[in-house]
Amino acid sequence: MTMRSRQTGGHTIDVLFPLAVFFAFAASAVMAILLAANIYSSAVTGSERMYNASTALSYIREKVHQNDTVGAVQIEQLEGIDVLILKQTYNEQAYRTYIYAWDGGLRELFSREDLPFDPDNGRYLLDIRGFACKKVSEQLLEVQCIDSDGGELKACIALFSSEGDA
């Protein structure tokens, strides 16, 4: 073997080795980017689900506190669903605000007291799968929201007025 053929063979390896290292690095970088994008996507999706459920609970808590007067907060089963009912009076006319889960979302319906409840008429607020509400005591409500993947969030809401306050 001559000196020239050894140099040619060495030259091929000198070119192929850095190319192989470069392609290995490029493949690793693409894999890392794809993995990071998947992790980010999962985090955003989870955050959005939790946002909807926690925002729903915050919204309900605020509505209850705004209407926290004696006898104004009730829980009933209407049309087979749990409904939080908030009673108000404007210009000597009785009104009700119904808060409930229907057709994949938290809904609110504001209507006169003498009109029938129709869950399809409520205004869509947020994506949630389910909603439950119960009175734990005379001055404490427990509200539960179920997000689109079945995750549950609960909150207890204190009522500052009660039937005993009248």
For the stretch 26-73, pLDDT in tens is: 999 999 999 999 888 888 877 776 777 888 899 999 999 999 998 899
Looking at residues 148-155, what average pLDDT do you find?
Answer: 84
Over the chain, what is the mean pLDDT?
86
**Residue position matching structure tokens 């009730």:** 74
Is the whole model's pTM more than 0.75, yes or no? no
